[in-house]
Chains A and B, each alone.
Chain A
Amino acid sequence: MPALEIRLHGRGGQGGVTCAKIIAAVYAELGKSVQTFGDYSGERSGAPVRAYTRVSDDPISNRNKVYDPDHLLVLDPTLLSDEVVQGLQPGGTLLLATSAPMESFVGRFEAFRLALIDATAIARRHKIGTRSVIIVNTTVAGAFVKALGLPLSALEHAYQHLGLLSNFAAAREAYEGVQVREPIGLEQRVAVPAAAVPAARPDVLPLTEHRDGPQPPLKTGNWRTQTPKYSSYLAPCSAWCPAGNDVIGFVQALAQKDEKAAAAILANTTPLAGVCGRVCPAPCMEGCNRREYDGAVNIRGLERWIADHGEVVLPVVTKHATPRRFAILGGGPAGLAAAQTLARAGHDATIFDGEAALGGVLRTGIPTYRLPREVLDREVGAVLALGVKTALGAFLDREQLASLPGEFDAVILATGLQKLRGLDGPGADLAGVQQGIRFLHHINLDGAARIGGHVVVLGGGNTAMDCARSALRAGAERVTVAYRRGADEMPAIAEEVEEARHEGVAFVFLRAPLGFVGEGGRVRGVELAEVELGEADDSGRRRPVVTDKRSVLECDAVLLALGQSAELSLLPAGWELREGRVHQGGVPLAVFAAGDVSTGDGTVTHAIGDGKRAAGRAMAALGLDVTPFARPDRAIAVPATDIRFDHFATSAAVRESLETPAARVRTFDEVSHGLADGLEAHRCFSCGECTKCDTCLVFCPEGIIRRKDAAYEVDYSYCKGCGICVKECPRKGMEMTAV
């Protein structure tokens, strides 16, 4: 029997020679004589290579390369050419590793049995090779065995002998997935002739002469199996910002000393940069990849710095051709964000609010030592400057509310969390026990609330901290915060807790309030039960388990900060809030909920994001051509593992300077003086955004990356796809992609 001859075409690094060896090993398992060898050249990884396998019943003495193969394997579709199929016998199998579907080969290679396998995808799934070079050989062998009708068990035995069993699962997947098209019209076909032995060869320049003119280029670009590409990837700070701020955008603008651009970027997405720069819990900093290195960039501080120092140029609003009329209920952050969004789109927006001034909880709840009112007024004023109208000083009743959809094209319901959680235990009606929110409202609006003695604050959120610290400023001798979980579980902003501690606020943890004890109708103590932490609940925090151990914490006043929720009972009869929209009798009304009333997230930044989203949904519902704001997907943000920390010198985050506890604790003046400058922006890794740092250019071993205009240009005719530029990029400004 003449020897069965198999030729394989691949690229250096794909494992083609080993693939030919695997095929030989399979035939050896079947008792055949085999011979297999590679065709080596001076070129390196990625260069086209050939490998050969002969199979026979008799000993094989032919040592030549294979010119007229019975079967042909091509490991890389970019190699496919007439030269590659030269000599292949009609009816022979042409196995091609490609992601292209069989339909794309109509009219091509019809003389052969065409077998296709997406080996790269399979090998990548099985993590065979590296990120830049996927090794497909062991996978392709599985497809070959199936295409040739050889037993899979022989392949498994071969892998066992070759120490490749870890790759067998990929081979099995290829075995099961290979697509085969039988030859078409075989009888009319003749073999593709093998390349003839050349009669005359080109002259070779003597070594005693120099070649003048350009050297014949060795365009190594055809060695490439993957291609480096510059791109932008979502930075985690931006992905984590509920308000949808282009966080990396304004921080990088600041890093480039373009304060004006930074302010414009911020103003584009939020009406409340100065507010958020003070009171935001800063999810961006939680997501910041620098946290994994030497501490998150102080993004909140930078936002405040821009708002306080940047010159905001208000956008010129063009009135919509047919402006729609929107009523916005509630002038808190969600309402303001909705108003800004609608006004910028050229529509009429009117904010209704029961208070005398806009701001909602920012004005009624947050103390001035955290948020000076001139900052709030400035930002509210900027929203009003867009032409937003107001109707203040009177809460709408159900009837008035019910009539709004008839008077306006759409209504945005942004009423926040009006329902305050109380404590149903004994003594709740004792004098001296009051809702913290009410206490803050008095202080903030009336400016005159006084409180004395030992004040106990129940709760662990930001309202609790505001109550505790405001109580100190309003005359309390001492303040104790009692929280039912541990210190680590407190939802309050960590800096707030720390500042409260420095001001002398005491904390007792793992204590749940049961009721109050009084004397003469006035509260004299809180009865607390000791709590143990159990399993984690849905929020990831350990669930408090109340025990029998009780004690009384003596006090003179109690502020409740146990949580708030939406007050939906004030809605007109029949109104039903479902997925952020009001329905009546199953029919959706043009009434959209925004902010806490809808989501209950409880932060300014969430409210801004949801206000924008609700405004967008309302406009879209009216048939306007808008894409409602959607929060970016955190899951696709650049992870810290994609940042090359080695490229960055360590530096501690710059913190805001604070008034000393002794000086600040008796006044309502702002505690934080903010950052002195915007230099903290230089700590930004710029995750996923090229900063033109030249690292790719410097590390490219071929020297074929060049600056062009404001970007880089890779000379792909020489790029071997080594991946070093991508590997060295400090910030994931590029990645390897398929050729």
Chain B
Amino acid sequence: MTQELISANHAAALAATLAARANRTGRGFGSGVYPITPQTECIELLCNQEIEKGHVVRVESEHSAMAVCMGFSVGGARSFTASSSNGLAFMAENVFAAAFYRLPIVMMAVNRTLGPPWNIWVDHGDTLMLRDSGWIQLYCENNQEVADTTLAAFRLAEDRRVLLPIMVCQDAFILSHTMVLTEMPAQALVDEFLPPLDLPHRLADRPRVIGGLDLPHETEMHRLQAIGAMNNVFEVYREVQASFLQIFGRALPDPIVPYRMDDADVVLVSMGTTASTVRAAVDEARARGVRAGGLRVNMFRPFPEDLLRAALAGKKKVGVIDRDLCPGLGGILWAEVRGVTEPGALVQGYIAGIGGGDVRPAHVTRILNELVALERADKPRIVEVG
């Protein structure tokens, strides 16, 4: 185990490299890559790695990048790519295809605001656009989580009970370009954690067809099977967490991460790095005697409905801070959290930090104070922080 001062972009690239090498006794590693700010550093580093039985193919677009990953994956190779924002939008057709083909591809997505007008900074609108694509989505809070979750994602995705692709999401610049000391495990440990991929529907010598025409009933059944795989994720993820802890001596974050929730009267729900800002504001409020709590959603897909319902049981005031915006509705996280709160609870939506605005503890404190005073939920509010 070594500590390195690296960005989360590089952490993801190194984690992918370790995972790639871990499949050297299997069918190797293959990746299709196309650069986009703020993901470029990740794939640049990946391209410069020596990977036995590994191919990183530089293609002409994100759409092709995912197509290449699908080709490698269906051939039994471990596969990884990275993208962001409009790149994800262009990739979208094949993003859906990867999930519908049930291919365990891992993609590091650096959350960046969709343009135009052009904006390179963080918000979650790009990956949330793909929330219905059939991918598992995990939203990291710090650099170490990016490294660890990337490694864990391969194990989760490749589990026979799952066989779904995973997006490991991280906030643009706040994580992607921020360098911290990050622990990267030794290859031997990764080998122990991550057995070679054995894709059951791998295409080999015998010519086969996958993904031909479905009649309506066949589509119903195939979607039902994908739902079943999603439902298995919680159990498998717990096993992955246990194994990860045992092998690397470090815990993976739970699907949802509560903070000082037990006696909290007012709760703020968030995703990504906003959760750490929320913790600071909660501590500040607690110091003032306000019984505040924080709840971070790490796993957005599958949506941890039962866990959230349990965590929010009895909570009468819930604020949801979205770093995304669905015009005509409000925050996407807010819309989904409304379905798992206590009946009669006040659930107020806030949109903070879209377009990369720096959400500071003072902003969250202001939200918290407003929420404490609020008697009835109002339309979602955009908090100007930029």
Complex-state Cα separation, A208 to B217, whole angstroms: 17
A211 nearest CB neighbor, chain B only: B208
Query: What residues of chain B lie closer than 8 Å to A203, measured between beta carbons?
Result: 221
Cβ contact of B210, chosen from A42, A201, A204, A207, cutoff 8 A = A207
Please encode chain A, from 192 to 233, with 1 for each CB lying within 8 Å of some chain B CB and 0 for all others: 000000000101101111100001000000000000000000
Complex-state Cα separation, A206 to B161, whole angstroms: 12
B225 adjacent to A206 (CB under 8 Å): yes
Query: What residues of chain B lie closer than 8 Å to A207, measured between beta carbons?
Result: 100-102, 201, 210-211, 222, 225
Query: What residues of chain B lie closer than 8 Å to A201, measured between beta carbons?
Result: 217, 221
Please encode chain B, from 30 to 55, with 1 for each CB lying within 8 Å of some chain A CB and 0 for all others: 00000000000000000000000000
Complex-state Cα separation, A65 to B219, whole angstroms: 20
Cβ contact of B218, chosen from A204, A208, A209, A215, cutoff 8 A = A204
Complex-state Cα separation, A207 to B160, whole angstroms: 12
Query: What residues of chain B lie closer than 8 Å to A209, measured between beta carbons?
Result: 200-201
A208 adjacent to B222 (CB under 8 Å): no
Residue from A203, A207, A209, A215 with most neighbouring chain B CB atoms (10 Å):
A207
Query: What residues of chain B lie closer than 8 Å to A215, measured between beta carbons?
Result: 209
- Interface residues in B169-213 by Cβ distance below 8 A to A read 200-201, 208-211, 213
If A42-B213, A209-B200, A210-B201 touch, whether A204 touches B222 (CB-CB below 8 Å) is yes
Cβ contact of B208, chosen from A42, A208, A210, cutoff 8 A = A210
- Interface residues in A165-217 by Cβ distance below 8 A to B read 201, 203-204, 206-210, 215
Interface size (B, Cβ < 8 Å)?
A: 17
B212 nearest CB neighbor, chain A only: A42
Please encode chain B, from 100 to 130, with 1 for each CB lying within 8 Å of some chain A CB and 0 for all others: 1110000000000000000000000000000
Query: What residues of chain A lie closer than 8 Å to B225, measured between beta carbons?
Result: 204, 206-208
A208 adjacent to B221 (CB under 8 Å): no
- Residue B163 is within 8 A (CB to CB) of chain A in the complex: yes
Complex-state Cα separation, A215 to B206, whole angstroms: 13
Number of A-B residue pairs, CB cutoff 8 Å, is 32
CB distance from B13 to the nearest CB of A (A): 29
Query: What residues of chain A lie closer than 8 Å to B200, measured between beta carbons?
Result: 208-210
A202 nearest CB neighbor, chain B only: B217
CB distance from B199 to the nearest CB of A (A): 8
Query: What residues of chain A lie closer than 8 Å to B101, measured between beta carbons?
Result: 207
A204 adjacent to B201 (CB under 8 Å): no
B208 nearest CB neighbor, chain A only: A210
Please encode chain A, from 531 to 561, with 1 for each CB lying within 8 Å of some chain B CB and 0 for all others: 0000000000000000000000000000000
Query: What residues of chain A lie closer than 8 Å to B211, measured between beta carbons?
Result: 207
Cβ contact of B163, chosen from A42, A204, A208, A210, cutoff 8 A = A208
Complex-state Cα separation, A594 to B39, whole angstroms: 99
Query: What residues of chain A lie closer than 8 Å to B218, measured between beta carbons?
Result: 204
A208 adjacent to B201 (CB under 8 Å): yes
CB distance from B248 to the nearest CB of A (A): 29
Query: What residues of chain A lie closer than 8 Å to B100, measured between beta carbons?
Result: 207
- Interface residues in A37-93 by Cβ distance below 8 A to B read 42
Residue from B102, B160, B213, B221 with most neighbouring chain A CB atoms (10 Å):
B221
Query: What residues of chain A lie closer than 8 Å to B222, measured between beta carbons?
Result: 204, 206-207
Complex-state Cα separation, A570 to B139, whole angstroms: 119
Complex-state Cα separation, A168 to B201, whole angstroms: 56
CB distance from B374 to the nearest CB of A (A): 45
Query: What residues of chain B lie closer than 8 Å to A42, measured between beta carbons?
Result: 213
B222 nearest CB neighbor, chain A only: A207
Complex-state Cα separation, A210 to B201, whole angstroms: 6
CB distance from A220 to the nearest CB of B (A): 14
Query: What residues of chain A lie closer than 8 Å to B201, measured between beta carbons?
Result: 207-210
A203 nearest CB neighbor, chain B only: B221
Complex-state Cα separation, A210 to B208, whole angstroms: 8
CB distance from B52 to the nearest CB of A (A): 27
CB distance from A154 to the nearest CB of B (A): 37
Please encode chain B, from 156 to 172, with 1 for each CB lying within 8 Å of some chain A CB and 0 for all others: 00001001000000000
Please encode chain B, from 131 to 164, with 1 for each CB lying within 8 Å of some chain A CB and 0 for all others: 0000000000000000000000000000010010
Query: What residues of chain B lie closer than 8 Å to A208, measured between beta carbons?
Result: 102, 160, 163, 200-201, 225
B210 nearest CB neighbor, chain A only: A207
Complex-state Cα separation, A498 to B121, whole angstroms: 93
B229 nearest CB neighbor, chain A only: A208
CB distance from A516 to the nearest CB of B (A): 91
If A209-B200, A209-B201, A210-B208 touch, whether A204 touches B221 (CB-CB below 8 Å) is yes
CB distance from A290 to the nearest CB of B (A): 45
CB distance from A42 to the nearest CB of B (A): 4
- Interface residues in B76-120 by Cβ distance below 8 A to A read 100-102
Query: What residues of chain A lie closer than 8 Å to B102, measured between beta carbons?
Result: 206-208
CB distance from A647 to the nearest CB of B (A): 32
Complex-state Cα separation, A210 to B101, whole angstroms: 12
Residue from A42, A201, A206 with most neighbouring chain B CB atoms (10 Å):
A206
Query: What residues of chain B lie closer than 8 Å to A206, measured between beta carbons?
Result: 102, 222, 225
A198 nearest CB neighbor, chain B only: B217
A207 nearest CB neighbor, chain B only: B102
Query: What residues of chain A lie closer than 8 Å to B160, measured between beta carbons?
Result: 208
Please encode chain A, from 90 to 118, with 1 for each CB lying within 8 Å of some chain B CB and 0 for all others: 00000000000000000000000000000
CB distance from A430 to the nearest CB of B (A): 94
A204 adjacent to B213 (CB under 8 Å): no
Complex-state Cα separation, A206 to B211, whole angstroms: 11
CB distance from A205 to the nearest CB of B (A): 9
A212 nearest CB neighbor, chain B only: B206
- Interface residues in B309-341 by Cβ distance below 8 A to A read none
Complex-state Cα separation, A210 to B204, whole angstroms: 11
CB distance from A230 to the nearest CB of B (A): 31
Query: What residues of chain A lie closer than 8 Å to B208, measured between beta carbons?
Result: 210
Complex-state Cα separation, A209 to B208, whole angstroms: 11
B204 nearest CB neighbor, chain A only: A210
Complex-state Cα separation, A209 to B69, whole angstroms: 20
Complex-state Cα separation, A201 to B213, whole angstroms: 18
Complex-state Cα separation, A320 to B208, whole angstroms: 69
Complex-state Cα separation, A208 to B222, whole angstroms: 10
CB distance from A213 to the nearest CB of B (A): 12
Complex-state Cα separation, A207 to B97, whole angstroms: 12
Complex-state Cα separation, A209 to B163, whole angstroms: 11
Complex-state Cα separation, A208 to B160, whole angstroms: 9
Complex-state Cα separation, A207 to B208, whole angstroms: 12
CB distance from B218 to the nearest CB of A (A): 5
Complex-state Cα separation, A215 to B210, whole angstroms: 12
Complex-state Cα separation, A203 to B101, whole angstroms: 18
CB distance from B201 to the nearest CB of A (A): 5
Query: What residues of chain B lie closer than 8 Å to A204, measured between beta carbons?
Result: 217-218, 221-222, 225
CB distance from B376 to the nearest CB of A (A): 41
A206 nearest CB neighbor, chain B only: B225
CB distance from B314 to the nearest CB of A (A): 40
Complex-state Cα separation, A210 to B163, whole angstroms: 14
CB distance from B142 to the nearest CB of A (A): 34
CB distance from A630 to the nearest CB of B (A): 57
CB distance from A218 to the nearest CB of B (A): 10
Interface pairs (30), CB distance under 8 Å? A42-B213, A201-B217, A201-B221, A203-B221, A204-B217, A204-B221, A204-B222, A204-B225, A206-B102, A206-B222, A206-B225, A207-B100, A207-B101, A207-B102, A207-B201, A207-B211, A207-B222, A207-B225, A208-B102, A208-B160, A208-B163, A208-B200, A208-B201, A208-B225, A209-B200, A209-B201, A210-B200, A210-B201, A210-B208, A215-B209
Assuming A207-B201, A207-B210, A208-B160, what are 17 further A-B pairs, CB within 8 angstroms? A42-B213, A201-B221, A203-B221, A204-B217, A204-B221, A204-B222, A204-B225, A206-B102, A206-B225, A207-B102, A207-B211, A207-B222, A208-B201, A208-B225, A210-B200, A210-B208, A215-B209
List 10 A-B pairs, minimum CB-CB distance, nearest first: A204-B221, A42-B213, A206-B225, A208-B102, A208-B201, A207-B102, A204-B218, A208-B163, A208-B200, A201-B217
Binding site for B on A (CB under 8 A): 42, 201, 203-204, 206-210, 215
Binding site for A on B (CB under 8 A): 100-102, 160, 163, 200-201, 208-211, 213, 217-218, 221-222, 225
